[in-house]
Structure 1
Amino acid sequence: MYFTILWSAVSHLVWYHVRSCVHLPPVWQLPNLKYLRIEGAHAVTKVGPKFVGCKKGDPVCNGFVAFPKLELLIFLDMPNWEVWSFFEEEAAAPDVRGEDEAVEIQKEDAQSARLQLLPHLVKLQLIGCPQLRALPPQLEEDTVSLKKILLIGINNLKAVEDFPHLSELLAIKDCEGLERICNLAQVSELQVGGCPNLSHVEGLANLQELGLGEDMQEISSHWVPGLQEQHQRIHGEDLDVYTVV
């Protein structure tokens, strides 16, 4: 009983240098957790449903809130992490029902599996996770309090897009495979360096400041003029473009 009370009161947790562990602990059970840092989990290749404590199709997920108070989430030095998902993808089975009926069933399934993720997350940092291929879509949808994202050394990541609530800063460095940054309607500042394949940046209507590494001058010429034109059209002034180290 005493241990349970102490466990539920934890607000800061650092889990590091656990190189042999292949699964992350179910820390979603900590109702007052505000700061979570996971570092050096070298054996982890997938962060999945166990991380949020809910599986797709489970009726108890309806209305479930995972990490209800978490404000800062950091993943650091996870060289073999490839997949981040909140639901297991199930193989599609042949369906002999009509198209309309199938669509309605899919809607019902989605509602039954609905859960809320990280409603108070303010800042997300991913550093040294070179194999991670994508950010989970539901993370983009549910993080209504998100202000800042920092991505460093996420080499396999192809796109950062569709974060409608991200409101302040997106900082990206040394993400060699990154090709697209799109549909971040509320972001006010973008910093980019070490992303030689970033050829497509658009949908940043609220952008006020753009920081570019010296190595970004050539590739950014494909999309900086569009951002400048958009800013002038919407705000009636020049976009603030500066150099980042």
Structure 2
Amino acid sequence: MSLILKDVRSCVHLPPIWQQPNLKYLRIDGAHAVTKVGPEFVGCKKGDPVCDELVAFPKLEWLIFTDMPNWEEWSFFEEEVAAADGWGEDGAAEILKEDAQPARVRLLPRLWELQLHGCPKLRDLPQQLGKYTTGLKELNLGGLNNLKAVEDLPVLCEVLVIGYCEGLERICNLPQVTELRVFGCPILSHVEGLDSLQRLGLGKDMQEISSRWVPGLQEQHRRLHGQDLDVYTSSSS
């Protein structure tokens, strides 16, 4: 089952899409008024006993967000937002961050590919995305100018493509990614923790800035695999 929500410009909140459990393909395009995607996206709110057994989007394999120019925040649970905003005292925020997911919630268990394009104000990817979406093989990001880091995604296991993310500074701790393609990221100065990387595609515009971190990746690859990393010129598509 596929669903495409297109040109939903007046919607301030996304509709309860999670109520369609047979979805395999979901594309949300042109939700210009949306500034936040929160617990309503997966159908789980704080204190809701249903959350204890929730399987959010049990069959979804492709998830695509495009042309959402005012989208700033994305979280799966209310506690996660609280932690990100630094609420609480004496380390309370950090505890909330670690305990953000209800014990038995399963998030997007079959998600294979995630694409985000044309979301220039989005600041962060959800903390839970990289820990519980265990089938995630490809992450494709484009035009996320406010995103500073792509990091701590231990379950992303194949391809990461990043283009025209002008504020991106770091790509870190992606231990299972085997191929990275990056272009249009002029201040990307810190790339590490890609232990399984086999191929690195760089746009022509990345040659100078990548000289800061490609040698480190090459050295790591030789140490772990006994051969040179495959570095090639990547197209901007």
In the superposition, the TM-score normalised over structure 1's length comes to 0.87
Whole-Å separation in 1 of the counterparts to 2:200 and 2:145:
22
Whole-Å separation in 1 of the counterparts to 2:218 and 2:3:
42
Q: In structure 1, what is the equivalent of residue 5 of structure 2?
A: 15
Corresponding position: 1:178 with 2:196: no
Displacement of 1:68 in angstroms is: 0.6
Q: In structure 2, what is the equivalent of residue 211 of structure 1?
A: 201
**Aligned pair partner of 1:202 in 192, 203, 206:** 192
Alignment deviations for residues 182-230 of structure 1 (CA, whole Å, 9 cap, x no partner): 1111100000000011110000000000000111111111110000001
Root-mean-square deviation (CA, aligned residues, Å) is: 2.3
Alignment deviations for residues 9-57 of structure 1 (CA, whole Å, 9 cap, x no partner): xx10000011111111111111110000000010111001111110134
Q: Which runs of 4 or more aligned residues in structure 1 lie more than 4 Å from their structure 2 counterparts after TM superposition?
A: 90-95, 105-114
Q: In structure 1, what is the equivalent of residue 24 of structure 2?
A: 34
Contact kept? 1:74, 1:126, Cα under 8 Å = yes
Whole-Å separation in 2 of the counterparts to 1:180 and 1:67:
30
Structure 1 or 2, whichever has the larger Rg, is 1
Length, aligned pairs only: 229
Corresponding position: 1:62 with 2:52: yes
Corresponding position: 1:119 with 2:134: no
Percent of paired sites with the same residue: 71
Whole-Å separation in 2 of the counterparts to 1:37 and 1:109:
30
Q: In structure 1, what is the equivalent of residue 158 of structure 2?
A: 168
In the superposition, the TM-score normalised over structure 2's length comes to 0.90
Map 1:67-216 to 2 at 5 A.
67-88=57-78, 89-90=81-82, 92=87, 112=102, 114-216=104-206
Q: In structure 2, what is the equivalent of residue 50 of structure 1?
A: 40
Alignment deviations for residues 96-132 of structure 1 (CA, whole Å, 9 cap, x no partner): xxx9xx89x9699757565211010000000110000
Q: 1:184 to 1:20 in 2, by over 3 A?
A: same
The AA in structure 2 aligned to 1:203 is G
Displacement of 1:87 in angstroms is: 1.7
> Which shows bigger deviation, 75-84 or 85-94?
85-94
Contact kept? 1:14, 1:36, Cα under 8 Å = yes
Displacement of 1:60 in angstroms is: 2.4
Q: 1:15 to 1:180 in 2, by over 3 A?
A: same
Q: 1:222 to 1:36 in 2, by over 3 A?
A: same
Question: Counterpart of 2:128 in 1: which secondary structure?
Answer: helix
The AA in structure 1 aligned to 2:124 is A
Runs of at least 5 residues in structure 2 that lack an aligned partner in the other structure? none
Whole-Å separation in 2 of the counterparts to 1:237 and 1:170:
22
Alignment deviations for residues 63-92 of structure 1 (CA, whole Å, 9 cap, x no partner): 311001100000000011010011223484
Whole-Å separation in 2 of the counterparts to 1:106 and 1:68:
25
Question: Counterpart of 1:137 in 2: which secondary structure?
Answer: coil
Contact kept? 2:17, 2:41, Cα under 8 Å = yes
